[in-house]
Amino acid sequence: MPARPNLKRAAVLAASGVLALSGCAAILGIEEPSDRALDGGADHAADSALGQDAAGDSAVEHDAGDGRDGASSDGGTEGGKDGGPDVGTGFVSISVGDHACGVTGDGRVACWGSNELAQVAPGSDAGVLYAPEFVKGVTDAKQVSVAQRTSCALLGNGKVKCWGVLGNAPIPVQTIQAAGGGDLTGVEAVDLGFGPGGYSGAGALVVLKMASGGAQCLGSDDMGGCSTGAPLVSATPTPMLSAPATPFAGVVDVAAGESGFSCTVVAGGVVRCSGNVPRADGVSGGVFLASTAKVTGGATNFTGAANVAAGYQHACAVQAADRGVVNCWGANNFGQLGIATPGVDYPEYVQGPVGGLTGKVMNLSAGYQHSCVSLDNGTAQCWGYGGNGQLGQGQKISSTTAVTVQGLPGGKVVRSVSAGFQVSCATMTDGTGYCWGKGDKGQLGDGMGQQSDIPVQVSAPK
């Protein structure tokens, strides 16, 4: 691959007015973390990311007036193709893990990056795609979410199509089937996480928010993240339980993490997590939890949540009463909780509100040891580990407080953001997409296959 010219980087930094970071943010020089967890993972999501309205009375949806319909959690997708102004064939949203997929304004899905098990381009034998290509057989998409070997798209009819690996088997593009047979319908959001089962070649943990108010789970779950009371490796969804034999009800948001856990927001803003849980009370959760554990940590910290995002051994929630407040909990060894509490031992479980936020949160995404938000002022901020440039600061630095992504084109408004495996992506309200961070497997989608510590444009196929 040809090297990306340094002049391009310098020009973008100069145009955005970036000379150096100053002052308030705690900037750390931190060594590269080991890849002990995975070589890829969801955004968050997510990416993991949920492309949904902040549903339920406690979610406090609002309209930014610029094409961003209220807040969403991980997955980098708010509103889908009907969530704002017409962007034509540009990107409405992007979800990034070790590969990435984006939804275009006409409801198609384009993917790029690692394709080892056809999670990017079903039917292709290419190991890596350095630029986006449309996924055949997926139309009318509203949202997309990815984890290392799996991609899933939520369609306008409430069905979900997935490809790559599901459970422990490779699959072409196929519609998720209900437990009683026939296509599963009534899905409002989908989020993927990379569970420990992925080490052996299994696919993602897939959680679904249902229009009925419940939640369902499928895929690879060997740590109890599905909250079904037992390990699960299945391509058929199973209801998630809030207590033994008690399915969830009143679900506002769901998120799948990268270390075998999931979190759910229910009516009243209570956050419950299950599996290999990074709990906010300083205790690592158990394995194969039969019911979820309520996230605690203070009367003002973890009640009234609107949205939740799950990353690698950490999670974050947006407060409904004041969308300028994000609380995170779990491991903080690289500042991924957005607080300065040291985390030199791996992992150290702590909790606290993110510092440095400069606006109200429109969407939230937790990745691998970093997290990102898009704000109502049209900007994006990230915090945590930045050794591959995934914080978008023009240099490879980490931060224990939220810092604004530098190098995005002036005058453009950020619509959504997604944090993945040492890479981040954002979409603008005009349909353009940008990614920054690790790029050796084509994650940036710019055709270069190299890392960048400033955003580079990724364009939807024509």
- For 250-286, how does the pLDDT look when each residue is reduced to its tens digit (9 = 90+)? 999 999 998 788 999 998 888 888 887 665 544 444 3
Q: Give the residue with greater pLDDT, 278 vs 59.
A: 278
- Residue 113 inside a domain? The answer is yes
Least confident of 237-246, 402-411, 431-440: 237-246
Instruction: Determine the Cα–Cα distance for residues 406 and 404; give it in Å rounded to an integer.
Output: 6
Instruction: Provide the sign of the torsion angle of the four alpha carbons 448, 453, 454, 460, taken in this order.
Output: positive
What's the pLDDT at 222? 76
- For 122-166, how does the pLDDT look when each residue is reduced to its tens digit (9 = 90+)? 999 899 999 999 999 999 999 999 997 899 999 999 999 999 999
- Residue 28 inside a domain? The answer is no
What's the pLDDT at 168? 82
- For 178-195, how does the pLDDT look when each residue is reduced to its tens digit (9 = 90+)? 999 999 999 999 999 975
Q: Does residue 343 carry a pLDDT above 70?
A: no
What's the pLDDT at 5? 33
- Residue 133 inside a domain? The answer is yes
Average pLDDT over residues 162-175: 93
- Residue 30 inside a domain? The answer is no
CATH of the domain at 226: 2.130.10.30
What's the pLDDT at 258? 81
What's the pLDDT at 352? 80
What's the pLDDT at 276? 77
Residue 428 Cα to chain centre, angstroms: 17
What backbone phi and psi angles, to 5 degrees, belong to 208? -125, 130
- The answer to whether 147 and 204 are in contact (CB under 8 A) is yes
CA–CA distances in Å: residue 281 to residues 155, 285, 302, 306: 38, 10, 11, 20
DSSP, collapsed to helix, strand or coil, labels residue 258 as: coil
Q: Does residue 217 carry a pLDDT above 90?
A: yes
* Residue % of the chain over a pLDDT of 70: 72
Q: Give the residue with greater pLDDT, 49 vs 115.
A: 115
Q: Does residue 243 carry a pLDDT above 50?
A: yes
Note the pTM of the prediction, 2 decimals: 0.83
What's the pLDDT at 375? 98
Instruction: Determine the Cα–Cα distance for residues 54 and 351; give it in Å rounded to an integer.
Output: 23
Tokens 């420990």 belong to which residue? 196
DSSP annotation string for 45-105: EEEE---S---SGGG-----SSS--S-B-TTS-SSGGGSSS--TTSEEEEEESSEEEEEET
What backbone phi and psi angles, to 5 degrees, belong to 197? -60, -20
Instruction: Determine the Cα–Cα distance for residues 56 and 50; give it in Å rounded to an integer.
Output: 15
- Residue 55 inside a domain? The answer is yes
What's the pLDDT at 83? 52
- Residue 24 inside a domain? The answer is no
Best CA proximity match to 205, nearest among 263, 153, 163, 261 = 261
- The answer to whether 397 and 447 are in contact (CB under 8 A) is no
Which residues are within 8 A (CB) of 357 and not within 5 positions of it... i.e. 6 or more apart?
Answer: 324, 325, 326, 373, 375, 381, 402
Mean pLDDT of the chain: 79
- Residue 352 inside a domain? The answer is yes
- For 66-85, how does the pLDDT look when each residue is reduced to its tens digit (9 = 90+)? 445 445 665 444 334 445 56
What's the pLDDT at 188? 98
Instruction: Determine the Cα–Cα distance for residues 439 and 389; give it in Å rounded to an integer.
Output: 10
**Total structural domains within the chain:** 1
What's the pLDDT at 72? 61
Instruction: Determine the Cα–Cα distance for residues 103 and 111; give it in Å rounded to an integer.
Output: 9
- Residue 25 inside a domain? The answer is no
What's the pLDDT at 302? 60
DSSP annotation string for 295-332: P-S-TTTSSSEEEEEE-SSEEEEEESS-TT-EEEEEE-
Where b means 16+ CB within 10 Å and e means fewer, 218-229 reads bbbbbbbbbbbb
What's the pLDDT at 229? 73
- The answer to whether 76 and 52 are in contact (CB under 8 A) is no
- For 359-381, how does the pLDDT look when each residue is reduced to its tens digit (9 = 90+)? 999 999 999 999 999 999 999 99
340's tokens: 């300065």
What's the pLDDT at 61? 31
- The answer to whether 446 and 127 are in contact (CB under 8 A) is no
Which residues are within 8 A (CB) of 17 and not within 5 positions of it... i.e. 6 or more apart?
Answer: none
Print the domain residue range for 356. 39-458
Least confident of 11-15, 325-329, 448-452: 11-15
Tokens 């490879």 belong to which residue? 396
What's the pLDDT at 150? 94
